[in-house]
Structure 1
């Protein structure tokens, strides 16, 4: 049985999509890729546009010399707002063309998300969302239509598939909200990148059965992000009513194995489904949390240890 393919992403080196969380002295892409490869990871995501070279030839050189596979790129779109759909499509297609130009096997995904962190109420209540803060039926229709339009354009223009990234501080955070989107969106167009940490935090105080959810939407899980969630920080976030950025800055997404995600159950489930894609580690590293390379190495070692215990 082949070992799981495991990659990592620029967010694990502090390149977060939120300006509020970015380091004043960011690590450059060359150091990040060097360290990622040195740890033993074999794939990377793109990160913010222009973090890595946006010229396909230059980007290909950086990947080939480190023997790395390009796995995907995160593109946020305010899908609730129909007027944002076309600009979102344009950005997604531009990004997907770069991915396609450096694609190997397995092919990368366009990782679509809501414009997370941009709606004050959702940002304030991340980790404790109730149905009252959710979308209406008509808003869901607009949201799903926008996701389908992005995915259709990306597929037609580049041949790449699109996965949706459920994410705290966006309109698709809770298990029920993830289900609502998947039930509305065309399964031939839109898959899911299942993010273990955002699922755990987004489920709130009552939690949710990860494996039952994965079983329900097994055919839609095309890609996986491995992220953990600290029980103590999540509890403080709820009790002290922190917003998403405060929770992030306190380390709600901790190193793998130090939180509440059952990675043994996850890997066992993936084996049972004969999952052959990448598992991408995402630990949102912030200033003061230590050297990203050391954390990345511990995270990879943890996953390999869990994997070995299943053999």
Structure 2
């Protein structure tokens, strides 16, 4: 078993509770926190604004869990929209500041995401061209500005490459790393379906990996979704992100690579799904099973 200081968290998106859904949450925050605690998780991501609370109610609701991080997406490709979105980032940081205290390496990480590319959202997986070279400097400068905002508030952010966005493929990630000093939130599932090898990239990008989302992916379901002409949202609904061990992720290899690079901090299990596609009981059982699979690998 590794002696590295790591803790394992989960996230509301594993239950179909996330920022891009207009549907009512399929379960309450207290029920989710209770289920994750019972399964042995030590932390949770923030989820949509207000879902877990915002100040004293957040601390009470977490009931011993730590806040691991939280999503903050901005339109880095659009200067005006980026400016308008900074107030949302600041509001997220306000919630982080109200979270229970944690050691520095376990402080909540603002997870910076890109609001998305409509063309890539429609056909996820790296087949659609990304940003033109001429737009990368402005995009990266705005990412760096968001990073600075987080640091001014005492939080070290991590940028999350994600299907359906302008930072989707390994080449996109390389460009971002060249133009900024932001750390990565390496999401194994999005990287796998975006055309990368998570084990190889964990080693290659070791010096920039500051946060880890462990997620499995199924390229066969991705291929079927592309053949059917459905978008990223429907890919999630079809199970493109599988339970750990049921997709193509080399989970033992990922855990071994985390040991090899000396990673310390949060490991957040996610299994992106849509509300209503699976029962609450099934989602709870899946996340308990995911925790057990990691436990069997020494994590």
Same fold (TM over 0.5): yes
Q: Aligned match of 1:150 in 143, 146, 150?
A: 146
Following superposition, the deviation at residue 5 of structure 1 comes to 1.4
After superposition, residues 130-141 of structure 1 pair within 5 angstroms as 130=128, 133-141=129-137
Following superposition, the deviation at residue 231 of structure 1 comes to 3.2
Map of 1:124 onto structure 2: 122
Q: Aligned match of 1:100 in 91, 97, 101?
A: 97
Greater relative contact order (CA < 8 Å, ≥ 6 in sequence): 2
Q: Aligned match of 1:71 in 68, 72, 77?
A: 68
Structure 2 Cα separation of the partners of residues 72 and 23 of structure 1:
23
Following superposition, the deviation at residue 303 of structure 1 comes to 1.2
Following superposition, the deviation at residue 25 of structure 1 comes to 5.4
Structure 1 Cα separation of the partners of residues 203 and 25 of structure 2:
42
Structure 2 Cα separation of the partners of residues 13 and 225 of structure 1:
15
Map of 2:31 onto structure 1: 31
After superposition, residues 220-299 of structure 1 pair within 5 angstroms as 220-286=208-274, 287-290=276-279, 291=281, 292-299=283-290
How big is each residue's C-alpha offset from its partner over 1:235-269, in whole Å with a ceiling of 9 and x where there is no partner? 21233333212211111001010001111111111
Structure 2 Cα separation of the partners of residues 52 and 209 of structure 1:
33
Structure 2 Cα separation of the partners of residues 202 and 61 of structure 1:
38
Q: What secondary structure does 1:285 align onto? A: coil
Q: Is the 8 A contact 2:123 2:164 kept in 1?
A: yes
**Deviation larger for 169-178 or 286-295:** 286-295
Map of 1:58 onto structure 2: 57
Map of 1:214 onto structure 2: 202
Unpaired runs of 5+ residues, structure 1, are none
Following superposition, the deviation at residue 198 of structure 1 comes to 0.3
How big is each residue's C-alpha offset from its partner over 1:79-108, in whole Å with a ceiling of 9 and x where there is no partner? 100112222322212211221221412111
Structure 1 Cα separation of the partners of residues 95 and 126 of structure 2:
37
How big is each residue's C-alpha offset from its partner over 1:274-301, in whole Å with a ceiling of 9 and x where there is no partner? 2121110011233232422101101101
Q: What secondary structure does 1:307 align onto? A: coil
TM-score, normalization by structure 2? 0.92
After superposition, residues 33-48 of structure 1 pair within 5 angstroms as 33-48=33-48
CA-atom RMSD in angstroms = 1.7
Following superposition, the deviation at residue 23 of structure 1 comes to 4.6
Q: Is the 8 A contact 1:129 1:174 kept in 2?
A: no
